[in-house]
Amino acid sequence: MTEQANTPLDFRTEPARYRHWKVEIDGRIARVAMDVREDAGLRSGYELKLNSYDLGVDVELADVVQRLRFEHPEVAAVILTSGKERVFCAGANIRMLGQSSHGWKVNFCKFTNETRNTIDEASAESKQFWLTVVNGPCAGGGYELAMATDWILMADDGNTSVSLPEVPLLAVLPGTGGLTRLVEKRKVRRDRADVFCTLEEGIKGKRAVDWGLVDEVVSRSKLDEAARSRANAFVARSDRPAGARGVALPTVARTHDGDRLGYEHVACVVDRKRGVADIVVRGPGAPAPADAAAIHAEGARFWPLALARELDDLILHLRTNEEEVGLWVLRTEGQADAVDAYDRLLADHAGDWLVREIRLYWRRLLKRLDVSSRSLFALVEPGSCFTGTLLELALAADRSYMLRGTFEGDARPPAAVRLSAMNFGPYPMPNGLTRLASRFIGEPGRIDDLKGRIGQDLDAAAADDAGLVTFTPDDIDWEDEVRLAVEARAAFSPDALTGMEASLRFVGPETTETKIFGRLSAWQNWIFQRPNAVGPKGALHVYGTGQRSEFDRRRV
């Protein structure tokens, strides 16, 4: 067991606990300064010098982004910069990478990618535009962070540069989407990108602008003025309500007793021997609010928001701290009518800023489920409420089992699933398609047919006919079929399953997100296991020792 595995990481944090970020709100503009404490790494054995970061730094950043969106609707522009003189960010801490387990490195890259995607989305969907002020050398993950924003402003002082030096220095890749964003988002020419990614020293000044690596360079004395001017231009483009009150996000309440994790709306039992996490998502316990004003009054207690925060925390916990639990079994409990009423609220008030943020949160949450390297099974039983937004959990699953009829002695009505408007657009997958469109990639006409069935309770036969579930065993076969399926899944190679699931989940068009999580993550995952990077003479291990890396020169 690694040190990381023995010490569970808690993704819950709040501003009072930040050690690496400083946030200032000035009317419509926020300033987020990266000021990493060298002695405050998650683990011992390395110092976070030069604003280099580990996963703990990014956990705080994710919280910053989330709170700006929910707690500060008045903020329309965010200036991201460094709180240190003469350095922006040196990227992921190399000592941390060198001493981390393979799984820790991969999860680190995945979470930081998701955080940067949240910044992308904040600008594109929430109209909370981010810009970066590069006030010193900006390398590796630091430049990747800058690329997640809409505008990069850099000091023209002969010292400040941007670089992606992972290939020449470390024999790995820019692991948080750097290569993809360079050519997809920044639209840098391939030949120039090739040169840039092999230069240890990076590029500065006018050439950085000419090549599209940054948007603007100004003298150091004019950085603040130029940043404020650009931020004001972004404010003018935003539709965020200047006079609205935000929604406070208290720390998610969670109990953790050995193999059991409990929240108000989610419960999980971990069976490490079987490698299974049984997850139960509970429907709303109270009627839906009457209107948008009532949603605002409920704030973080509003069921869809409260549930999303709890489920997000559970996914991150299981993904990072329970590496050997390879199968997540998803169930729901509750009333379909109650879930449907909340879905109608989310659909009818889509223009409200808070409802927009809640819908976007569910989009991000479901995408996090999509890209998690775990097998997902959904069990639809009497008493479940796989309706609309919660039906997306079953549609995200690799396979689903729905009971045909009832269990002997169970007086509850047979299991049913129900479609809502939320299944037809608000929650696209990383490939840009809804889960229904991805499911029926070869039968596009079926989507129109399913739209005509919104609001209908579909029993096992109807759901099977509609293609919404995989298997529909009856009471006699249910226990054996589910048990055998779980046992068979546990017997397969986890590596093969991860590759298979990722290949099957994202059909259709390739997007920046699928390239980052599919192509880039797959290559980085492989490279992180190669001796050229992590062997005794690999670049990650000998970096900073004065020794030269020894590479196996064979291309494979």
Asked whether residue 426 carries a pLDDT value surpassing 80, the answer given is yes
Summarised one tens digit per residue, pLDDT across range 155-206 is 999 899 999 999 999 999 888 889 999 999 999 999 999 999 999 999 999 9
Summarised one tens digit per residue, pLDDT across range 502-511 is 899 999 999 9
Q: Is 140 left (phi over 0), alpha (psi -120 to 50) or beta?
A: left
Tokens of 426: 């608000």
Instruction: Give me the percent of the chain exceeding a pLDDT of 90.
Output: 88
- Where are the domains positioned within the chain? 13-237, 255-504
The reported pLDDT for the residue numbered 355 is: 98
Comparing CA positions, the residue from 332, 331, 329, 330 lying closest to residue 275 is: 329
Residue type at position 211: W
Distance separating alpha carbons of residues 176 and 142, to the nearest angstrom = 10
β-pair type (29-34, 21-26): antiparallel
Residue 551 vs residues 385, 523, 532, 535, 548: alpha-carbon distances, Å: 55, 17, 5, 9, 9
The reported pLDDT for the residue numbered 2 is: 41
Asked whether residue 290 carries a pLDDT value surpassing 70, the answer given is yes
The reported pLDDT for the residue numbered 207 is: 97
Residue 158 vs residues 48, 204, 286, 307: alpha-carbon distances, Å: 25, 7, 61, 50
How far does the chain reach from its first CA to its final CA, in angstroms?
A: 30
- Domains 13-237 and 255-504 in one fold: yes
Summarised one tens digit per residue, pLDDT across range 61-111 is 999 999 999 999 999 999 999 999 889 999 999 999 989 998 898 899 999
Comparing CA positions, the residue from 435, 401, 429 lying closest to residue 417 is: 401
Give residue 540's pLDDT band: very low, low, confident or very high (50, 70, 90). confident
DSSP conformational letter for 101 = -
Summarised one tens digit per residue, pLDDT across range 371-382 is 999 999 999 999
Beta strands in 98-254 (DSSP E): 129-134, 138-139, 151-155, 162-163, 216-218
Summarised one tens digit per residue, pLDDT across range 104-154 is 988 999 999 999 999 999 999 999 999 999 999 999 999 999 999 999 999
The reported pLDDT for the residue numbered 6 is: 62
Mean pLDDT across the stretch 277-291? 96
Give residue 1's pLDDT band: very low, low, confident or very high (50, 70, 90). very low
Asked whether residue 421 carries a pLDDT value surpassing 50, the answer given is yes
The reported pLDDT for the residue numbered 46 is: 95
Query: Average pLDDT of the chain?
Result: 95
The reported pLDDT for the residue numbered 267 is: 98
Asked whether residue 526 carries a pLDDT value surpassing 90, the answer given is no
Give residue 528's pLDDT band: very low, low, confident or very high (50, 70, 90). confident
Asked whether residue 467 carries a pLDDT value surpassing 60, the answer given is yes
The reported pLDDT for the residue numbered 4 is: 43
Residue 219 burial class via C-beta count within 10 angstroms: exposed 0-12, middle 13-18, buried 19 and up: exposed
13-237: in CATH 3.30.465.10: no
Overall CATH class of domain 255-504: alpha beta
Comparing CA positions, the residue from 46, 142, 130 lying closest to residue 87 is: 142
Mean pLDDT across the stretch 400-418? 95
The reported pLDDT for the residue numbered 523 is: 80
